[in-house]
Amino acid sequence: MAHVHEQLLTTPLPELHGHGLRLRSWDAESDAHTEAWLRGLTDPEFQRWNTPLKLITDIDGARDSLRSRAERAADGSGASFRVTDESTGSTLGHIGVNEINAVTRCARIGYWVLPEARGRQVATRALALVAGWALSELGLHRLELGHAQGHEASCRIAERCGFLYEGTLRGAMFEAGRYDAFRDVHLHARIATDPEPGVGQPGGGRGPGVA
């Protein structure tokens, strides 16, 4: 197994496929990708549960944000995937392996799904796919997933994908739309030695793989 940093310095990121999805790199120079990224970050449901350190409100900001993601992939500190339908290629959402520490082999997972793709277990399927890759091919030992307390959908997604609930972090993230108030975070995590959860794919599609 290659070292974590060596794996991430491979350009471009591998395409991951399975569970009816294909995970691909984002392209900051693509107008379609940039527009989808902007829609995801300005969606009211996303903003209800997340308060980014830097607000993205227009297409230029979205493009700069995607370029920053590409830089993190280049220096080995992150891996951002555009979640697409394996059959149609349409963009469904985003999932990222963030804050990668190549020494401790730990990282944090974040994701969102576009409004029109909700209700189809896209986040569950994408999380199962990228977690399997990160804990095997990438060589990470531990993946953490944190979400605002009260976000029951994220709790269910984490549990389906084998991310055990480990506790509540008090005042660990900003309240929605505010930088002067805090809320608690539920912490889930999965380590490489945990059993692989059984996450099915719609229509009996192929299991996970790397293209």
| Whole-number Å distance between alpha carbons of 126 and 63 | 23
Provide the percentage of residues in the chain whose pLDDT is more than 90: 82
Q: Which of 86, 83, 179, 165 is nearest to 124 (CA)?
A: 83
| Whole-number Å distance between alpha carbons of 68 and 77 | 11
The three-state secondary structure class of 68 is helix
Q: What does CATH list as the number for 16-146?
A: 3.40.630.30
Please tell me which residue, 201 or 184, carries the higher pLDDT value: 184
Domains in the chain: boundaries: 16-146
Strand order in the sheet with 209-210: 164-174, 182-191, 142-148, 106-113, 91-101, 79-85, 21-25, 16-18, 209-210
Question: Average pLDDT of 162-180?
Answer: 95
The pLDDT value given to residue 84: 98
- Provide Rg for the chain, Cα atoms: 16
- Asked if residues 133 and 97 have their Cβ atoms less than 8 Å apart, the reply is no
- Does residue 69 carry a pLDDT above 80? yes
Q: pTM for the complete prediction?
A: 0.89
Q: Which of 47, 35, 14, 30 is nearest to 133 (CA)?
A: 14
